[in-house]
Every structure is written in structure tokens, then in C-alpha cells.
Amino acid sequence: MLNTITDQVSVSDTQTRSPRLWIPERVLFTPAALDEDWGQQILKRVQSLNLPIEELSQNRLKGLRGESERDTYNIAKRTLAVVTAPPSSFKLSPIPPSADWQFHLAEGCPAHCQYCYLAGSLSGPPVIRAFANLPQILENLANYEQQGKTRSFEVSCYTDPLGIEHLTGSLAECIRYFGTRSNAHLRWVSKFDAVDGLLDLPHNGHTRCRMSVNAAPISGKFEGGTASVASRLNALRRLALPQERGGGGYPVGLVIAPIMPIDDWQMHYSRLFDQINEALDFDCNLTFELISHRFTPGSKEVLQTWYPQSKLEMDEAKRSVKRNKFGRTKYVYEKDTMKALRSFFESEISRRFPNAEILYWT
């Protein structure tokens, strides 16, 4: 049930269009996942969608490899596996500059971005694994709260949580949970647009909903399987609108990523800002996060097997090398290019959205 996507941002408060929904070809459940109440809740959802379900006899996922890496990719990206999060995922890692901590309701993403941030970060076939032990995952977060301080928790590092929400309901559950916490805020980001189920939740202003957007030539060429930028902005508008106008009344944000100095980049990004302006033509609590394109030797290698025909520029000779504290290498744009990009984005945002906060440039 895929949508028809238009390129215009709706400025109507109530208008909705069919959202982009990922429908997996099969849904696998491990025995451990079926033992969980949340796993049973996911089972009911996928049963109601009449999706082919397989109950596995063991907790390890097997048989997801094809004859080539590309076959494996195709099989995995059409499969939802409902599993339990491993014990290691209960030890949280910091995720600067986005948030204090990251946690995961799933790993893997149904979209097909040719620059995907997950390439090289997750091991094995890129199957979408949704976690059936969500209540335990949420309960564990209290160990990372701090009295008297607000701690932020990012839930989109290893998945697009909205992209699988119609199958899991897990993002809504996270939002409800954070609505009850006084010292913890949730952050999520998406390239999907099915937000109807999130508008009436008791979030208490503790969740910031963000959409990841990009200039039209980048989004059109490199972001397969996602909702259009216009649909994402329309979804963000609905999340941000006050509840008395039929919206969600959430704090919202734009993640502009990955920023690339394509031909006529100023013109294309100015058009993107025009679209954002049109979508968010009312007072709202708005932030921006600005992320320039980068890659590592590992991510490049994986992306080239996933997208062998891609025209994405990943030429080490055109980049500067940056090393992190563990000595790992990443390739970023050269200093003058970075400076020009950063200055353009910061001045456009402060001119067009004087009340919005830029959280970081990287």
C-alpha cells in the first residue's frame, strides 16, 4: 500500500494523504519474542495486516543470506524479524552531539538511502529487527536519568522508528513512557510520514519529533523507499501544530543531512528552506541539526555492495581526513567547502527562522 507522492507542501491544518508504509514480505518471530507481551502485541498488529508470519523454532536468525551481497540485501530489506534485544543493549552509549544517550527499539531500516548511516555500523544482513522486550528496555532507561537534570535519549540511531511504527507501535509506547518522566526527554527522527497515531499521545512536551530532509536532487536520487520531502514536512507540520488545531503540539526539529555541495547547492537548499517556511508557517518550538556528508572506509565498502550503481560521490582524493579519539578515519569535505556550507546554512536559518535554535553543525 504505497502512496502517491506529490511535491507540494500542504498548508491545510487537517489535510492528510496516504502515508508511505513499508509492507514486509514476511515477518519472523523468535520463540523468545513470542514469550513477551510486547511481542504478542506486535503479532496482533501484523496479523491484522494479513502479513505472512513465520514462527521460528530457535532464537537465532538464519537463512537470510542470498547468493550475493546484493541478494542478501534484497532478502533482508523485505524481512521484519521480531526478536528480543540482547543483554548488551541494556548498557547505553552516549551519542554526542545529538543526545546524552542512545537506546534502540529496533535495528535496521526499511528505506534504501544510498548514503545510509547504518552501513558498516550493524553486522550481518540488514534485516529489520524489532525488539519484543520494549517494556524492559524502557524500564532500564531510569538507570541513566539524573536527579535535577534533564537527560536526552535518542531512539533513531539504528532504525527509522516511524518507518516501522505501523507494524510495532513501539514509538508511540516510547512517547507515552517519556511523557511520564520528569527528567528525561525523547528524540526521534524519520524520513517517513505516517504520524496519525502519534498526534493524540500524552507526550507532555517531553518528545522532540524531527524530520530528516535534503535538497531535491539529493533526496530524489539517493533516498529510495522514503516518503517525499514534501510529505515529511507535511507530517512535521501536523506534529507541531497545537492540539487545538488538530495537531500533536510537539516540539519539532529538522535534521538537514547529509548536506552535499552539489551543483547549484545554494539554490537547491534555498528551495528546501522555502518549503520548510511554507510547512511551518506558525509559531513552534523548532530546532535545526546540520550534518555534512561523510564516509568511512568501512561504510564505503558496504555501500558499494548494497548500491553498486550509485552515483554518490565518495572520492577520498576530494576529501579531508578526520580521525576520532579511537584513531578511526572518516572522510569529510575540505575546510573551505565546509566553511562555505556552514556559513550559508547558519545565516539562512537565522534570517528565516529567528526563533529556531541550531543545535549543531558537523
Q: Which stretch binds ligand SF4 (CB under 6 A): 6-14, 108-116, 302-310, 331-339?
A: 108-116
The yes or no reply on residue 111 touching ligand SF4 (CB under 6 A) is yes
- Smallest distance from the beta carbon of 192 to ligand SF4, in angstroms? 8
The yes or no reply on residue 257 touching ligand SF4 (CB under 6 A) is no
The yes or no reply on residue 113 touching ligand SF4 (CB under 6 A) is yes
Measured distance CA(246)–CA(244) in Å, rounded: 5
- Smallest distance from the beta carbon of 128 to ligand SF4, in angstroms? 10
The yes or no reply on residue 116 touching ligand SF4 (CB under 6 A) is yes
Q: What is the residue whose three cell numbers read 501536523?
A: 238
CB under 8 Å to 22, separation ≥6 — which residues?
110, 111, 163, 164, 167, 192, 225
| Ranges of H-type helices in the chain | 31-34, 37-48, 69-76, 134-141, 165-168, 170-179, 216-222, 229-240, 265-279, 297-306, 335-352
The phi, psi pair for 185, rounded to 5°, reads: -120, 145
Residue 185 has which C-alpha cell? 526527554
Round to the nearest angstrom and report the end-to-end CA distance of the chain: 37
- Smallest distance from the beta carbon of 77 to ligand SF4, in angstroms? 9
The yes or no reply on residue 107 touching ligand SF4 (CB under 6 A) is no
- Indicate the residue among 9 and 109 with the shorter CB distance to ligand SF4: 109
The yes or no reply on residue 314 touching ligand SF4 (CB under 6 A) is no
Q: Which stretch binds ligand SF4 (CB under 6 A): 32-40, 116-124, 168-176, 312-320?
A: 116-124
DSSP state at residue 284: -
CB under 8 Å to 333, separation ≥6 — which residues?
261, 292, 293, 319, 320, 341
Q: Which stretch binds ligand SF4 (CB under 6 A): 68-76, 112-120, 146-154, 196-204?
A: 112-120
- Smallest distance from the beta carbon of 156 to ligand SF4, in angstroms? 8
The phi, psi pair for 225, rounded to 5°, reads: 75, 5
Output the CA angle 351-353-356, nearest 5 degrees: 125
The yes or no reply on residue 118 touching ligand SF4 (CB under 6 A) is yes
The yes or no reply on residue 165 touching ligand SF4 (CB under 6 A) is no
Q: Is 219 helix (H, G, I), strand (E, B) or coil?
A: helix
The yes or no reply on residue 109 touching ligand SF4 (CB under 6 A) is yes
- Indicate the residue among 116 and 349 with the shorter CB distance to ligand SF4: 116
The yes or no reply on residue 154 touching ligand SF4 (CB under 6 A) is no
Binder to ligand SF4 among 129, 166, 191, 294 (CB under 6 A)?
A: 191
Return the number of other C-beta atoms located less than 10 Å from residue 39's C-beta: 22
The yes or no reply on residue 129 touching ligand SF4 (CB under 6 A) is no
Q: How far lies 6's CA from each of 20, 227, 228, in Å?
A: 12, 10, 8
- Smallest distance from the beta carbon of 181 to ligand SF4, in angstroms? 26
Q: Which stretch binds ligand SF4 (CB under 6 A): 86-94, 104-112, 139-147, 240-248?
A: 104-112
- Smallest distance from the beta carbon of 97 to ligand SF4, in angstroms? 18
Q: Which stretch binds ligand SF4 (CB under 6 A): 105-113, 168-176, 201-209, 213-221?
A: 105-113
- Indicate the residue among 129 and 191 with the shorter CB distance to ligand SF4: 191
Q: Are strands 184-190 and 99-102 parallel, antiparallel or unpaired?
A: unpaired
How many residues touch ligand SF4 under the rule CB under 6 A: the total is 9
- Indicate the residue among 118 and 279 with the shorter CB distance to ligand SF4: 118
Return the number of other C-beta atoms located less than 10 Å from residue 186's C-beta: 24
Measured distance CA(170)–CA(159) in Å, rounded: 12
What residue ranges bind ligand SF4 (CB under 6 A)? 109, 111-113, 116-118, 160, 191
